[in-house]
Amino acid sequence: MSETTHDGAVAVSAPPSADDGLSPAELAAKYGLSVSGARVGLGEYIRLMWGRRHFILAFSSAKLTAQYSQAKLGQVWQVATPLLNAAVYFFIFGLLLKSSRGMENDVYIPFLVTGVFVFTFTQASAMAGVRAISGNLGLVRALHFPRASLPISFSLQQLQQLLFSMIVLVIVLVGFGHYPSFAWLLIIPTLALQFVFNTGLSLIMARMGAKTPDLAQLLPFILRTWMYASGVMFPLARTLQHAGASKWMSDAMLGNPAAVYMDLMRYALIDDYTSANLPPHVWALALGWAVLFGAGGFVYFWKAEEQYGRG
């Protein structure tokens, strides 16, 4: 098509394009384009996660190494921090408030240190998870990878830190006369179930924290309440019985996941912590919490894959 301009020249216009009148979605479909960061199917997402397993391991190890790189004592703080917390709790709850409920110190101190270390594992996983996306927006926006890699790597980091702390825990146990036995093998399934639970919790916190960054400021208060309600510093069953708590309240508090995993670990490690201290069906509860939060948290996080790093 041509037309004459005011100076007599002939201007030739481009012929109409075959794409004229197509919407952006139709153009994308025509040329095989897809949305950047679009959510893939759950099966494909799991396959992509498996393909990034080396990144997850390397990222968690690097974070663990860098965590105390500016401190003079370095990695010593990995075990010193929960140990100092246990010392403070022993002074307040063991000496001042007499919360041991008849336990001798050779049982109560290992009981307390075990509870602090195990609960710190869950607490730190939740705190790391809530900042997993909001605290790494540069990485999220710069690279294309399954975003679940971040909260999972942070949970793995906390597991590695707990394993370092277990060395100190073993020294405490032996120092108070609790020697290795076959029951200690129960540590492996207990930690495995707690790790799955913590990972699911971290994934849930990561999605919520990505949408509401202020949750990171509120979460410490929630976790502190959870700690006091889980019997970290005192035998929960005896305390509830002494307080005359109703059966439904006792069952709810004894069945909460933090209390369950602490009870299993104490049962495995402490000679005088018998099965009478455990809530009914404790292994079923431990497995149920792990499956519920592990699988549910992963699906919950995956559902919002397209939203992370946007806005």
Question: What pLDDT was estimated at residue 70?
Answer: 67
**φ, ψ for residue 11 (rounded to 5)?**
-105, 135
Which residue, among 225, 10, 12, 237, has the nearest Cα to 103 in the 3D structure?
Answer: 237
* Residue with the two structure tokens 């394993």: 163
Question: What pLDDT was estimated at residue 13?
Answer: 56
Residues for the chain: how many in total? 311
| Angle of helix 257-269 versus helix 105-130 axis, rounded to 10 | 140
Euclidean distance between CA atoms 258 and 272, whole angstroms: 21
Euclidean distance between CA atoms 3 and 16, whole angstroms: 15
Question: What pLDDT was estimated at residue 199?
Answer: 97
User: What is the token pair recorded at 117?
Assistant: 């270390």
Q: Give the count of beta carbons closer than 10 Å to the beta carbon of residue 225.
A: 10
Q: Give the count of beta carbons closer than 10 Å to the beta carbon of residue 311.
A: 6
**267 Cβ contact list (under 8 Å, min separation 6):** 183, 186, 273, 274, 275, 277, 278
Euclidean distance between CA atoms 192 and 189, whole angstroms: 5
The model carries a pTM of 0.84
Euclidean distance between CA atoms 21 and 133, whole angstroms: 39
Residue 98 zone, left/alpha/beta (φ > 0; ψ -120 to 50; rest): left
Tell me if 21 sits within 8 A of 27, measured CB to CB: no
Instruction: Print pLDDT tens along the chain (311 aa).
Output: 545 555 555 555 556 666 666 666 665 566 555 555 567 889 999 999 999 999 999 988 888 877 766 666 666 777 777 778 778 877 877 677 676 767 788 888 888 889 988 999 999 999 999 999 988 888 888 888 899 999 999 999 999 888 888 888 888 889 888 899 898 999 999 999 999 999 999 999 999 999 888 899 999 999 999 998 998 888 888 888 888 888 888 888 889 999 999 999 998 998 776 655 566 688 999 999 999 999 999 999 999 988 887 75
Q: Where along the chain do its domains lie? A: 38-307
Assign 2 to helix, strand or coil: strand
CA 40 to chain centre: 23
Question: What pLDDT was estimated at residue 57?
Answer: 92
Question: What pLDDT was estimated at residue 151?
Answer: 95
Residue 307 burial (CB < 10 Å; 0-12/13-18/19+)? middle
